[in-house]
Amino acid sequence: MLRSLPRALRIPSGAKRAATAIGASFVATALLILIAGKNPIAAFSAMFYGAFGSMDRIAFACNKSTPYILCGTGIALCFRARIINIGGEGQIALGGLGAAWVAFVWPQHSAFMAVGTALLAGMAAGALWSGLAAAIHLWRNVHEVLATLLLNFIALLLVGEALHGALGEPGAGFPQSSMLDNAYWLPVLATGSQLHLGIVIAVVVAVAAHIYLWNTTGGFALRVLGASRSAAIYAGFSVSALTMKLMLVAGAMAGLAGAVEVLGVHYRLIEGFSQGFGFNAVVVALLGALNPLSVIPAGLFFGFLEAGALAMQRQVGVPSSLVSVIQGLTMLFVLAALASTAQRKAA
Amino acid sequence: MDALALDLLVASMRIASPLFFVALGGILSERAGVFAVGLEGMMLAGAWGATIGTFLTGMPLVGIVASIVGGALVASAVALVAVRFGAEQMVTGLAVNILTLGITSFLLRMAVGGGRAPVIQVPLLPVWPVPYLSELPWVGPMLFTQQLLTYAALLATVPAMLLLFRTQMGLTLRAAGENPTAVFATGSNPMRVRMLAVIASGAVAGLGGAVLCLQQVGTFTDGMTAGRGYLALAAIIVGRWMPVGALVACLLFGAAEAVQLRAQALALPVSSYTIQMLPYLIALIVLAALGRSARLPAAIGVAYEAPKRPSA
């Protein structure tokens, strides 16, 4: 019956999987809320109104989604080529550091130059870090997951180091830089709103990644590498060059996410500003079935979820840490579903 | 200067002690062929169990048992998704870490806090100086004037070594990490071996959480393990998947943190952040230096699938 539907109307299996995983984790979370003696319907509706209740809240949620979409897109490209890059956490942190650093050492006065140099510096810093991981992986045959994971912690500490040294705001009780000059602030999309340019950048990046993946030779090589390493070698693609290129691209996207967060939300570098972003972006990439276009709704889902949870905690007294439960469960369900489909295909 | 050095040694030991169990647990999992990224979550669940168990019953023993159960529960999720279903092990580990962070924080507020973060205190385990031995110079204060679980962790290395390298069970476990098909050929089920090893690793790592709670912090706070699980992962690498090696690596990392905490008093030329980077840097350097010869279990990270019956 379903098979007779025209192709365009068929729901892709990735979307079904994502919907099932999200549904299952919401059911599990509802049970948790019930056990805790609260009303799950009240909690979820508070969450919904918290996320969509007003233009301001929607803007807030979109801003929260931006780093997830940016970093998730890069991770999706890597994972699709079977390069397990979990270094987003560190690459985002360094992206923020790069943006703030260039703003202080090479101040620009026109807004165009200021934002442009800072975003580029963020991308370069992120790419430097992922490139380092790729180099260690390729030259010394270190598992890329271990290399990216260990570099995360070093990057976070580097940000701390910078904030306690040259970049730190003198006299501030908290490890943060001074406020950036006005020229560096990302423009808002509508006056009076807090929605900044970041979401547009994120969508453009995701669309570009989609075109790259499906309509270019590079994207083809990436897909071949993901499907079969030996086929990629046989086809004459250089696996190490591809790996390095993809890691650099993913790092640049993560770095851009960090730069956007600094220029669009905080207007300064703050220690721990990127806590959890990189790991959550892995969930977003998987939820988006490693498809750059689908990473957009997956990232938006996360952003709205987090924005809504804060309102839920205020109004119903259900702790917002429930978000991590939903995120973790969703990720486990998607992983389990992906793996069991792969097993069935192999059988 | 002697007093300072002694103080450093004692502090290194104290800081390293929660890591010992976590690293031991991680070795069980990685030797069986499953990356132990979930250690952070297992340890956190252990700390939660230890705090709540001790708080509710007033008995630290109940807390310790609860920490074992908590760690094993988190590990069961890894065993199911990463081993049974064969999902990417590292990413599964990340997922359970996120999940545990949320669930411990949520349950803490709902179970005892009535919706808010509760203020609970549990008494710390007493220091028990070993008679005679604790009076020895240097090693006395460092090794023999400790809290009970620290002794347990140090002693646990011996049965861990014996289990891994001197028993049939240990051989099967290591074989599951090196060549699961060989395990299958001997009539055992590599998937079962791996699942059991992962759950056991969670139980042991959970004890590490108990050490953190019952010997040092005395309460539970959100995400209180603060990356110690990942640090233990680095210790396993530096210790090259050997219990004693990992123990020494933990001690080394403990020393780095002890020095960092005293950075100002010692008037060191480097910042505390640089010193905190050392464990991860050392782990990376060890991995990079060993390169191909790093003795990672050969089949680590590779999902095992049972061979198909030939169709009739």
Q: What is the span of the domain harbouring residue A225?
A: 67-169+176-292
Give a yes or no: residue A345 inside a domain.
Answer: no
pLDDT exceeds 90 at position B144: no
CATH architecture type of domain B2-121+138-293: Orthogonal Bundle (1.10)
Which residue do the tokens 């967060």 mark?
A261
HSE-CB for A184 with a 13 A CA cutoff: 30
> Which pLDDT belongs to residue B287?
84
Judge whether A279 and B94 are in contact, CB under 8 Å: yes
Give a yes or no: residue A129 inside a domain.
Answer: yes
HSE-CB for B137 with a 13 A CA cutoff: 3
pLDDT exceeds 90 at position A222: yes
Give a yes or no: residue A190 inside a domain.
Answer: yes
Dihedral angle, C-alpha A103, A105, A109, A110, nearest 10 °: -60
Chain B residues with CB under 8 Å of A309 CB are none
pLDDT exceeds 60 at position A197: yes
Distances (CA, A) of B301 to A254, B17, B179: 25, 28, 12
For chain B, domain boundaries: 2-121+138-293
Give a yes or no: residue A309 inside a domain.
Answer: no
Tokens at residue B140, please? 């006395």
Q: DSSP letter string over A90-150?
A: HHHHHHHHHHHHHHHHS---SHHHHHHHHHHHHHHHHHHHHHHHHHHHHHH---HHHHHHH
Give the C-alpha separation, B210 to B225, whole Å: 11
Tokens at residue A322, please? 């429930």
Look up residue A34 and give its amino acid: L
Rounded to the nearest integer, the mean pLDDT of chain B is 88
Q: CB–CB of A146 and B287 under 8 A? A: yes
Give a yes or no: residue A51 inside a domain.
Answer: no
Judge whether A45 and A37 are in contact, CB under 8 Å: no
Closest CA to A281 of A260, A302, A251, A306: A302
pTM: 0.90
Chain A residues with CB under 8 Å of B87 CB are 335-336, 338-339
**Residues A127-149 pLDDT 10s:** 999 999 999 999 988 888 889 99
Helices and strands: H and E segment counts in chain A:
13, 0
Q: What are phi and psi of B130, to 5 degrees?
A: -70, 130
DSSP state of A226: H
Of A126-130, A131-135, B284-288, B304-308, give the lowest mean pLDDT range.
B304-308
Tokens at residue A52, please? 């969509």
Closest CA to B105 of B48, B21, B30, B156: B48
pLDDT exceeds 60 at position A10: no
List residues bridging with B145 in a β-sheet.
Answer: B129
Task: Name the residue among A279, A336, A343 with its Cβ closest to that of B305.
Answer: A343
| Contacts (Cβ under 8 Å, ≥6 apart) of A272 | A156
Q: CB–CB of A86 and B283 under 8 A? A: no
Give a yes or no: residue A181 inside a domain.
Answer: yes
Task: Name the residue among B88, B109, B289 with its Cβ closest to that of A335.
Answer: B88
Of A24-28, A318-322, B14-18, give the lowest mean pLDDT range.
A318-322
Q: CB–CB of A336 and B90 under 8 A? A: no
pLDDT exceeds 90 at position B304: no
The interface predicted TM-score (ipTM) is 0.89
